[in-house]
Amino acid sequence: MRNSTYVKMALNMLLHSKLRSWLTIVGIVIGVGAVVGILSLGDAMEEQVQSRLSEMDLTKIAISPGYTRAMSNMPGHPGGGDSAMDSELTEDDLDALQGIEGIQYIAGEISGSEEVDYAGENATLSITGVDPQIWKYMTTLETQSGRLLEPTDRYVAVIGNDVASGVYGRDIGVNQVITVNGKSVRVIGILTEEGGFGDSNIYMPIDGAVNLIEDAEKGVFDTIMVKAQSEDLVDTVMEDITDKLMVSRHVMREDEMDFSVTASKSMAESVTEMTSSMTLFLGAIAAVSLIVGAVGIANTMFTSVLEKTKEIGTMKAIGAKNRDILMIFVFNSAMVGFVGGIFGVMLGAFISTLFPILGMTMMRSGGDSGISLSLHLMLFGLVLAIVIGIVSGAVPAYRASRLKPVDALRYE
């Protein structure tokens, strides 16, 4: 028989067993739709993560007091963490790190949350005190209006986009004055919205901030920020920093370390791995639906073989070979998978459109994180459904092809 004959006979079998076939197809549709929808969500998340990582400075290294605070101190996010501050970073630590080969810039920072007044309104906002001499070389933040901090600045501030336009009833503009703990601070710059911590933060020269942030002390830092000369040197610089601080702080063993050294690069790798793992986990859950659909195809095909036993005997009696019977049933099961795959991809596309509506704007608050279904994912869903159909129908098809004509004709 020709392949076109196999297709014609398989299609005829599909059309003449409508209810059973379509119930089986529904199982495939749900399975493929779930897998395609979740994988499209995973693709969108990975794209957002990569987009954010491309905006990060992967040469940055953050040193923070307390060993267990490592994961809560991404560069640009000073403070946080649940563990106690069991040690301090001081000017002595900063001096100990000077001269390490591969360090381009190094500076201490302080941070805290303080009452900030503007236009008769009050809000508690995060303030970060930075070294104005080198901050503009270390940060990736850019100003929407105004300028960044300069070495001669003291009681001035560069504010995040949300602080400028989302906290108070009136927008804050450049050269307007806010009050921090009763002290007037002039706004000299407003940052471009970047969708992260910087949007809701106030940056000040550290000499001015130390007088405004409660509990802050001159010469004591919440974080020491380091910028390596290149991304390739980050690991080496981290090792040198750890060795230097262990010596200067008289730490004899690693399990006695009272500081943490964290690189943007390693944090970025952890986020990427976490995203991939989560997508894989969700995909595995969705695959359970596909297994159920595959069982449904196998069940339908076994039933079809039993129902058509006499027809198989007749076909063999007039010359059909084992291969012909095998191919007819394989084509039939593949056709079930193909039809289920088409509707499954359509369901997956529909599910993908629901994620943004449900507020799942991945990784970038307020960003344009529309989730679209890529062509390769649609093809993957379709091919997956066909393969499942063929695999599920292989055994019933093989059993049908091995029937003896006499036994098949006698079957009741």
Query: Looking at the predicted structure, is the pLDDT value of residue 224 above 90?
Result: yes
DSSP code of residue 231: G
Instruction: Say how many CA atoms lie within 13 Å of 350 toward its Cβ.
Output: 11
Which of these, 412, 347, 323, lies nearest to 35 by C-alpha position? 347
Distance CA 360, CA 371 (A): 10
DSSP code of residue 80: -
Structure-derived torsion over alpha carbons of residues 21, 27, 29, 35, reported in degrees to the nearest 10: -150
pLDDT value of residue 358? 62
pLDDT digits (tens, 9 = 90+) for 38-75: 888 877 777 777 777 777 788 899 998 886 544 444 44
CA torsion through residues 202, 207, 210, 216, sign: positive
Q: Is 40 exposed, middle or buried (0-12, 13-18, 19+ CB in 10 A)?
A: buried
Q: Which residues contact 28 (CB under 8 A, 6 or more apart)?
A: 290, 293, 296, 297, 336, 337, 339, 340, 341, 344, 385, 388, 389
β-pair partners for 64: 260
Q: Are 220 and 64 within 8 A, CB to CB?
A: no
pLDDT value of residue 365? 44
Structure tokens at 228: 């390596």
Mean pLDDT of the region 13-39: 77
- Proportion of the chain above pLDDT 70, given as a percent: 86
Q: Which residues contact 179 (CB under 8 A, 6 or more apart)?
A: 116, 117, 118, 185
Q: Are 126 and 167 within 8 A, CB to CB?
A: no
DSSP conformation letters of 367-397:
S-------HHHHHHHHHHHHHHHHHHHHHHH
**pLDDT-derived band of residue 359, with 50, 70 and 90 as boundaries?**
low
Q: Are 221 and 147 within 8 A, CB to CB?
A: no
**pLDDT-derived band of residue 370, with 50, 70 and 90 as boundaries?**
low
H-helix segments, 143-263:
161-165, 206-212, 234-248
pLDDT value of residue 205? 95
pTM, rounded to two decimals: 0.62
Q: Are 158 and 189 within 8 A, CB to CB?
A: yes
Mean pLDDT of the chain: 81
Distance CA 408, CA 309 (A): 5
Query: Looking at the predicted structure, is the pLDDT value of residue 239 above 60?
Result: yes
Instruction: Read off φ and ψ for residue 107, nearest 5 degrees.
Output: -160, 150
- The residue type found at 92 is D
Kindly give the pairing relationship between strand 220-221 and strand 223-228.
Answer: unpaired
CA distances from residue 31 to 151, 259, 349 in whole angstroms, order as listed: 61, 49, 13
- The residue type found at 185 is V
Which of these, 22, 28, 39, lies nearest to 341 by C-alpha position? 28
Orientation angle between helical segments 18-55 and 264-307, nearest 10 degrees: 170
pLDDT digits (tens, 9 = 90+) for 133-148: 999 888 888 899 999 9
**pLDDT-derived band of residue 1, with 50, 70 and 90 as boundaries?**
low
| b/e burial code for range 359-375 (CB count within 10 A of at least 16 → b) | eebbbeeeeebebebee
Query: From its phi and psi, is residue 278 left (phi > 0), alpha (psi between -120 and 50) or beta?
Result: alpha
Residue boundaries of the structural domains of the chain: 3-53+270-410, 88-257
Kindly give the pairing relationship between strand 177-180 and strand 259-263.
Answer: unpaired
β-pair partners for 124: 115
Instruction: Read off φ and ψ for residue 190, nearest 5 degrees.
Output: -120, 125
**pLDDT-derived band of residue 85, with 50, 70 and 90 as boundaries?**
very low
Q: Are 389 and 25 within 8 A, CB to CB?
A: no
Range scoring the smallest mean pLDDT among 181-190, 271-280, 374-383: 271-280
Query: Looking at the predicted structure, is the pLDDT value of residue 388 above 60?
Result: yes
